[in-house]
Amino acid sequence: MTGVPLVAFLLPLATLCGASAPDCKDLVKPFMPEDPKLIFGKWVYVMGAGDPLPYHQALESMKSSWIDLSPTSASHIVTLRWGDHCFNRCILGEVNATVVGLATMFRKNLADHKGHILRTCSDCLLWTDTFRNGDVTGRFILQFTRSGQIDPKDVEVFQKQVGCLNFPENIHKYDGITELCPDDKQTAE
């Protein structure tokens, strides 16, 4: 999306359930799924937060969003495509990202991005993104699911993660009504 680097890829298909409630250290520890292939495919944005405040407010312009992750011939490169419905129009884009250890890095809209996957609900993808454009820095935490729906108990865990990372507590949510932007590559196949 324009001005708001919606960058979320790499799926944590592990749940945060256990005998006791996880603490902040466990909730925000980056990880990589045992089978990285599980991250590939289409994801629908369900909620997120930005920091500092102007980036959080920028999420309000986003009415719906999807991302699609696919492998490339290079094992450490992932292609990220997106369709963001914001400012009353669809904005489509594509970028290649380099995966190094648990971090993913790429350049988009003149900004350098570095992100990580966090553990989240099954069939969900939770991405933290820190970016820099000259002297300007910001960050996002973005929750995606395959369906665009999320269980209320998983929203509670997400809210705890938002708090642990000191993001604004009033999270932005996909309204579930605005249609997703058409995927021109999907219809061409």
Concatenated DSSP letters of 4-39 = S--------------SS---HHHHT-B---SSGGGG
Residue of 67, 116, 72, 75 whose CA lies nearest to 96: 72
| Contacts for 33-36: CB closer than 8 Å, 24+ residues apart | 33/117, 36/10
Domains of the chain with CATH codes: 24-173 (2.40.128.20)
Q: What confidence score (pLDDT) does residue 101 get?
A: 87
Q: What is this structure's pTM?
A: 0.84
Q: What confidence score (pLDDT) does residue 13 get?
A: 32
Averages of pLDDT over each 10 residues, the chain, 189 residues: 39 39 85 84 96 89 93 92 92 92 87 91 92 92 95 94 92 91 71
Q: What confidence score (pLDDT) does residue 118 get?
A: 92
Q: What confidence score (pLDDT) does residue 186 get?
A: 66
Q: What confidence score (pLDDT) does residue 1 get?
A: 43
Q: What confidence score (pLDDT) does residue 155 get?
A: 95
